[in-house]
Structure 1
Amino acid sequence: MRVLMLFEYPSLNGGEYSFLAHAAVLQQRDCRFLAAGPPQGELAAALAQRQIPLHPCSWRHADQRRFSRTEMIEHLVDLVQQTEPDLVHANSLSMARWLGAAAPRLTIPCVGHVRDIVKLSKAAAADLQPLSRLLCVSAATRAMRLEQGADPERTQVLYNGVDTVRFAPCDPADEQHHESTHEQAAANGRDQAGRALRQELGVPADVCLAGGVGQIGMRKGWDTLLQAAALLAPDALPVQIVLVGERHSQKDEAIAYEQALHAAGARLARPALFLGRRDDMPSLLRAFDLLVHPARQEPLGRVLLEAAASGAAVVTTEVGGTPEIFPPGTALLVPQDDPPALAAAMASLLNDPPQRLHQAAAARQRILEQFTDTRAATNLEVHYRSLVAPCD
């Protein structure tokens, strides 16, 4: 089965990482992927590393003007004629909209992926209707689409999955070299990662690491985290706030928001550390005693899956698809935009190491049962094969 994937941007974010995780599994079966998207950038490099051919498409004119609706439809029709796939899969909501607009002129199944909880214009919602399948990353995301008239039978939930070997309490290479139980190896792995990060950052050994991971933007709620950190009682267990991520938007309000975060972080008793973009996420997540995710909107946070798989206890907001990841006993969920509630949840786990470890273990088991990359890829393959006749 030959699948053409459509990508709008050259960057690697949650949606792109999710596709790469699926592809790693399905390439071992008989799925052959090819991609269309920007010819340079992190995504192009990752596709080349996985030997996925890339058809260069910037979706813009040479002067960087975006294609018009008519031009985008014509471009997609020509692209499908040139590449001759069995199925086309748009990896984001915006690309799904354009694929849906072109679908009536195509003779193969068209799949769109919805990774955002947003209310669409009537025109955008109508563009999605011709798609053969609309895959939503959570039931919350699906509910939003159904509210705007999407067909219930063609609109289905496909949860993201993570590599639970790469994202694990212990580096798999280290675990193989130790004659110890899995639980001992996990504890040793997290202790080792924690010591290494504390040494790198100059954080004392008796200070807990509370990390936040994601884009620097209002939607992620980092201002709420810093307000909560300022409310932690002075006699509480010492904590170091560590934020990992970068700002993508160049808008004035986004720049001002980032500047305000740095100012608020500097005012904490132990100033927050901003690490920017990092390429060592598995070891970072192992090192965190607590992953704090105060998002105002979250369809199904990939970092939540990765953190739970890595053995970090999680405090997060009860928004979007997050409750679908964490049933009671696997994480602490609080209302959004509520610094006192967030501070109380953080303090309860920081001051109770046994409960923190128990919750983290329950969360990892939840990921192993429901959110592995193999499970997600297999479910995606079921959708593909229900739409495409089996290859000879």
Structure 2
Amino acid sequence: MAIERLLIGQTGALIFESAHAQKVFAEKVKEPRCSHHVIHNGLAASEFEEISPDQGAADFVYVGELRWLKGIDLLIEALAPLRRSDGSPATLVMAGDGPDAPALREKIQRLGLEQRVTLVGVQPARDMFARGRCVVVPSRAESLPYIVLEAAAAGRPVIATAVGGIGEIFGPTSSELVTPDNAPALGNAMAAYLADGAGLAASTALRHRHIEAQFSISHMTDQIEAVYRGLVAS
């Protein structure tokens, strides 16, 4: 941060990937006096192709690091009491690895969820989107997580927490975000999906259109080029 404070006097412009990052920079480094812009990360056109769940897909899927910071312990706690409308227990598949993987396995075993939670290791995100009906991102902290972008761009329902720049990704559906670090709130959102998954179709489609307009690679590169051209012209 000290280096960034020194360099800012020699900087023509700052580009932040989210309004959240811009706010954190101002709080922890320095309020930028040079030109500064929020330009969201972009996805390739192929990443906007919608994915349908496989036959026999789990109710929920998590893709990411296996760290408590990502809220994986909360996810397991929220899953434990959940039942489908027919009374059968809800299921979860988790992809990823990380320092808290052993503790996660112990928690799954302690709660008796070995038959309901499947750990598959590190896997491509788009492959995993087909293995679960609803993507869950229960993070305690984030910046602008690609997994939320990718899942929403693939047309999958997403349950996520109100941290970092996730609200910017959710856009007009940001009111659906869940209170972070709160297993009951997360469980309520997951239970609502089990009760009426089709009811989320409208917000899922609205979010997909928002991301397609604001988070494409072409939109991102056009904005970045404009910043550079403006600097060169001045």
Quote the offset at 1:128 in angstroms: 4.0
- C-alpha RMSD of matched pairs (Å): 2.4
The code of the aligned residue for 1:227 comes to E
Q: What aligned pairs does 1:93-104 form with structure 2 within 5 A after superposition?
A: none
Do the aligned partners of residues 238 and 162 (structure 1) sit closer, same or farther apart at CA in structure 2, a change above 3 Å counting? farther
Whole-Å separation in 2 of the counterparts to 1:325 and 1:317? 12
SS in 2 for 1:211: strand
Do the aligned partners of residues 387 and 332 (structure 1) sit closer, same or farther apart at CA in structure 2, a change above 3 Å counting? same
SS in 1 for 2:158: strand
Select 1:230's aligned residue among 54, 76, 80.
Answer: 80
**Larger relative contact order (CA 8 Å, sep ≥ 6):** 2
Q: What aligned pairs does 1:13-92 form with structure 2 within 5 A after superposition?
A: none
Q: What aligned pairs does 1:163-202 form with structure 2 within 5 A after superposition?
A: 163-170=44-51, 190=52, 193-195=53-55
Whole-Å separation in 2 of the counterparts to 1:313 and 1:242? 15
Whole-Å separation in 1 of the counterparts to 2:145 and 2:224? 18
Whole-Å separation in 1 of the counterparts to 2:177 and 2:33? 29
Could you give the per-residue CA deviations for residues 181-220 of structure 1, whole angstroms, max 9, x where no partner exists? xxxxxxxxx1xx512xxxxxxxxx3x64311111222321
State which structure, 1 or 2, has the greater radius of gyration over its C-alpha atoms.
1
Select 1:142's aligned residue among 18, 22, 33.
Answer: 22
Whole-Å separation in 1 of the counterparts to 2:136 and 2:72? 9
Quote the offset at 1:287 in angstroms: 4.2
Matched, 1:303 2:147: yes
The normalised TM-score by structure 1 is 0.54
Matched, 1:127 2:6: yes
Whole-Å separation in 1 of the counterparts to 2:168 and 2:61? 22
Whole-Å separation in 2 of the counterparts to 1:363 and 1:294? 18
Quote the offset at 1:384 in angstroms: 2.4
SS in 2 for 1:161: coil
Select 2:206's aligned residue among 356, 362, 377.
Answer: 362
Query: Any conservation in 1 of the 2:140–2:181 contact (CA below 8 Å)?
Result: yes
Do the aligned partners of residues 124 and 227 (structure 1) sit closer, same or farther apart at CA in structure 2, a change above 3 Å counting? farther
| Other-structure match for 1:219 | 69
Quote the offset at 1:318 in angstroms: 0.3
Select 1:241's aligned residue among 69, 77, 92.
Answer: 92
SS in 1 for 2:113: coil
Do the aligned partners of residues 234 and 210 (structure 1) sit closer, same or farther apart at CA in structure 2, a change above 3 Å counting? closer
| Other-structure match for 1:105 | none
Do the aligned partners of residues 285 and 310 (structure 1) sit closer, same or farther apart at CA in structure 2, a change above 3 Å counting? same
Query: Any conservation in 2 of the 1:331–1:360 contact (CA below 8 Å)?
Result: no
| Other-structure match for 1:209 | 59
Whole-Å separation in 2 of the counterparts to 1:208 and 1:385? 48
Q: Which runs of 5+ in 2 are unaligned?
A: none
Could you give the per-residue CA deviations for residues 321-367 of structure 1, whole angstroms, max 9, x where no partner exists? 11111134367311111000001001101221221322221221111
| Other-structure match for 2:162 | 318
Q: Which runs of 5+ in 1 are unaligned?
A: 1-119, 171-189, 196-204, 248-253
Whole-Å separation in 1 of the counterparts to 2:4 and 2:68? 25
Query: Any conservation in 2 of the 1:146–1:152 contact (CA below 8 Å)?
Result: no
SS in 2 for 1:327: helix
The code of the aligned residue for 2:70 comes to K
Select 1:273's aligned residue among 118, 123, 130.
Answer: 118
Select 1:260's aligned residue among 78, 103, 111.
Answer: 103
Query: Any conservation in 2 of the 1:330–1:363 contact (CA below 8 Å)?
Result: no
Query: Any conservation in 1 of the 2:48–2:212 contact (CA below 8 Å)?
Result: no
Whole-Å separation in 2 of the counterparts to 1:316 and 1:384? 34
Percent identity of paired positions between Structure 1 and Structure 2: 29
The code of the aligned residue for 2:54 comes to G
SS in 2 for 1:243: strand
Whole-Å separation in 1 of the counterparts to 2:91 and 2:68? 22
Residue-pair matches, total? 229
SS in 1 for 2:15: strand
Do the aligned partners of residues 140 and 329 (structure 1) sit closer, same or farther apart at CA in structure 2, a change above 3 Å counting? closer
Do the aligned partners of residues 331 and 309 (structure 1) sit closer, same or farther apart at CA in structure 2, a change above 3 Å counting? farther
